[in-house]
A and B are shown apart, each in its own frame.
Chain A
Amino acid sequence: MKKLKSVGIYTFLSIAALVSIFPFLWMVVSMTNKSVDVTKGRLLPGRHLIENLNVLFESVNMVTALVNSTIIALITTFLTLLIGSLAGYGFEIYRTPGKDKVFNILLLSMMIPFAAIMIPLYRIFGRLSSTVPFLGIDTLAAVILPTVITAFFIFLFRQNTKMFAKELVEAGRIDGLSELGIFFRIYVPTMKTTYAAAAIIAFMNSWNNYLWPLVVLQSPEKQTIPLLISNLGAGYTPNFGVIMTAIVIGTLPTAVVFFVMQKYFVEGMMGSVKG
């Protein structure tokens, strides 16, 4: 009976693992196959990887999309971490009843669905287009700005600051550091783990973001990886091998980040719940 039960457990877990992994195996294998073979359901590696890569990098704007996505994700991650940690630190270290009230109000913004603010944001940036062109629709600023400040990261940093030894702040003051100096020279280096976890989340969110870039980026040379994949997938005569190659390349950065920094990854997710 006991043995039967454990066979059942292993079978169930194996099926779950197989179902989870299979689409990954399929896309990696399909990357090396011709479009026709992908539709025929070929599950063996082929010899068309170079051909697919050539099509992707020559006739599709893959390089541009990679560059755009990388620039956007790096700037977004940097600003998100900077602004989020400054605020999380400020709310916790300089805690007053007034700031706690502000904090609670800011948290309410986590309940705001993006679809609800998308249209006003689009109109705001639309109006800026004529007066301040570098802030208007179809610019880097427009795609980045609304995503860098989120209550989630303020919350995450504040939760983690609760575990930061506050004596270090006093020690810094005694050493004659300015308040900002304490933040940059003592807090930032001690909180590396939190920053790493937050960076992973911010980078992935930005790299995978779809709806807002879809709304605000219009010219083809501005498009990001998700927009490119979506466009390729929506074509009438899709080249499946090429699409699979694009999906693999688009997934690679986040997959690498996940495997290299698995510990921080999970910690970052948990950081938002503990405390």
Chain B
Amino acid sequence: MSKVVKRANQPYTINLKSTGSRLKKNYIGWLFILIATAGICIFYFYPMVQALLLSFQSGMGANLEYVGLDNYVRLFKDPTFIAALRNTFIYLLIQVPLMIILALFLSVLLNNATLKFKGFFRTAIFLPCVTSLVAYAVLFKYLFGEKGLINQFLLNLSIISQPLNWLSDPLLAKITIIIAITWRWTGYNMIFYLSALQNIDKSMYEAAEIDGASSLQQFFYITVPMLKPIILFTSIISTIGTLQIFDEIMNITNGGPGNATLSISMYIYNLSFEYSPDFGYAATVSYVIVILVVLLSLIQFKVAGDKK
């Protein structure tokens, strides 16, 4: 209909008409994004503001009153919070680089054109990603139990002479958590690298080969620089994920022994739902994660940007 009108009328009218319909389309466009925008405001931004307000309040359950910055002062004197913060950083600093290097290494091996059983290796290594975090966490709890398969295996190979207390030794418990997360997520990251590797021009490697560059040099001077954007992406995703780690800790060690594996998210959960509920202080602790997520993402962007 409007097409017919456009053809029949003067240019002047056409403009008027099309401006009108553009305005109308713009208005319809807003309707398309309305639910999503409203939803994100209600379920993300509004709670963020609420959490900020809560972080200045204290009290049990619903009896909250404003206490100014008391909660923030309390953070620095709270040994449990400091332990949770330290543990989370240990996971972050050891697990994320370990996993990314392993995933990079595996993807380079799998990208080899002459490799046989490529599909099998790729599927096998990706498989852990189909498990739910809770399911694999419970599985790992039993694998690493005192009489678990890991101890039996190590004993049979005479690597150890008596069972290791994977879950009740502070250091070993952290190692168990790190092994578990690495098992679950390495294949996930590997898939990203594999697909990025396929976009690298093969002739670059051929040229490097002619120039006499070793595989190691090719890896560091071609592969890594070409994959930089995707490495940045995956390390940000992993950092955000690790800062929020909850399911594994809750189901493998329940934060113990002592608070040796407690994460920040788990401490927030305990403060709100396990101990006598202190939502105000829990909200303060949760803002620490928010600040860390923003800061670490910015740092990673900065580091990756500078090297360009």
Q: Which residues of A contact B (CB under 8 A)?
A: 9, 12-13, 16-17, 19-21, 23-24, 26-27, 38-39, 41, 83-84, 86-87, 89-91, 93-96, 99, 102, 106, 109, 111-124, 145-146, 148-151, 154, 173-174, 176, 179, 183, 204, 207-208, 210-211, 215, 225-226, 229-230, 232-234, 240, 243, 247, 250-251, 254-255, 257-258, 262, 266, 269-270, 273
Given A247-B138, A250-B132, the answer on whether A215 and B273 have CB atoms closer than 8 Å is yes
Tell me if B44 and A109 are in contact (CB < 8 A).
yes
Chain B residues 235 to 283 lying within 8 A of chain A, measured CB to CB, are: 240, 243-244, 246-247, 250-251, 254, 264-265, 268-269, 272-273, 279, 282-283
- Looking at A39, A99, A115, the one whose CB has the most chain B CB atoms below 10 A away is A115
Which of B24-32, B69-77, B299-307 is found at the contact surface with chain A?
A: B24-32
Tell me if B26 and A94 are in contact (CB < 8 A).
yes
Tell me if B128 and A119 are in contact (CB < 8 A).
no
Which of B93-101, B107-115, B170-178 is found at the contact surface with chain A?
A: B107-115
Tell me if A210 and B134 are in contact (CB < 8 A).
yes
Tell me if A115 and B268 are in contact (CB < 8 A).
yes
Question: In the complex, how many residue pairs between chain A and chain B have their CB atoms under 8 Å apart?
Answer: 241
1/0 per position for B60-71, CB-CB distance to A under 8 A?
A: 000000000000
Tell me if B47 and A117 are in contact (CB < 8 A).
yes
Given A24-B127, A26-B143, A211-B269, the answer on whether A113 and B243 have CB atoms closer than 8 Å is yes
Give the total of B residues in contact with A, Cβ under 8 Å. 89
Q: Of all chain B residues, which has the CB nearest A39?
A: B147
B90 at the interface (CB under 8 A from A): no
Tell me if A96 and B50 are in contact (CB < 8 A).
no
Tell me if A13 and B47 are in contact (CB < 8 A).
no
Tell me if B135 and A83 are in contact (CB < 8 A).
no
Given A41-B152, A109-B44, the answer on whether A83 and B39 have CB atoms closer than 8 Å is yes
Tell me if A273 and B192 are in contact (CB < 8 A).
yes
Which A residues are in CB contact (< 8 Å) with B221? none
Q: Of all chain B residues, which has the CB nearest A102?
A: B37
1/0 per position for B159-197, CB-CB distance to A under 8 A?
A: 000000000000000000000000100011001100100
Among candidates A20, A150, A257, A273, residue contacting B187 with C-beta atoms closer than 8 Å:
A20
Tell me if B47 and A179 are in contact (CB < 8 A).
no
A96 to B244 alpha-carbon distance, docked (Å)? 35
- Looking at A118, A151, A247, the one whose CB has the most chain B CB atoms below 10 A away is A118
Q: Which residues of B contact A (CB under 8 A)?
A: 1-3, 25-26, 28-33, 35-37, 39-40, 43-48, 50-51, 54, 106, 109-110, 112, 115, 120-121, 123-143, 147-149, 152, 183, 187-188, 191-192, 195, 230, 233, 240, 243-244, 246-247, 250-251, 254, 264-265, 268-269, 272-273, 279, 282-283, 286-287, 289-290, 293-294, 297
Q: How far apart are B96's CB and chain A's nearest CB, in angstroms? A: 16
Tell me if B133 and A113 are in contact (CB < 8 A).
no
Which B residues are in CB contact (< 8 Å) with A151? 40
SS class of chain A's interface: helix, strand, loop or mixed? Answer: helix
Among candidates A19, A109, A115, A225, residue contacting B40 with C-beta atoms closer than 8 Å:
A109
Tell me if B51 and A116 are in contact (CB < 8 A).
yes
Tell me if B47 and A115 are in contact (CB < 8 A).
no
Given A13-B109, A16-B106, A176-B1, the answer on whether A23 and B132 have CB atoms closer than 8 Å is no
Tell me if B183 and A19 are in contact (CB < 8 A).
yes
Q: How far apart are A60's CB and chain B's nearest CB, in angstroms? A: 14
Which B residues are in CB contact (< 8 Å) with A114? 244
Tell me if B149 and A250 are in contact (CB < 8 A).
no
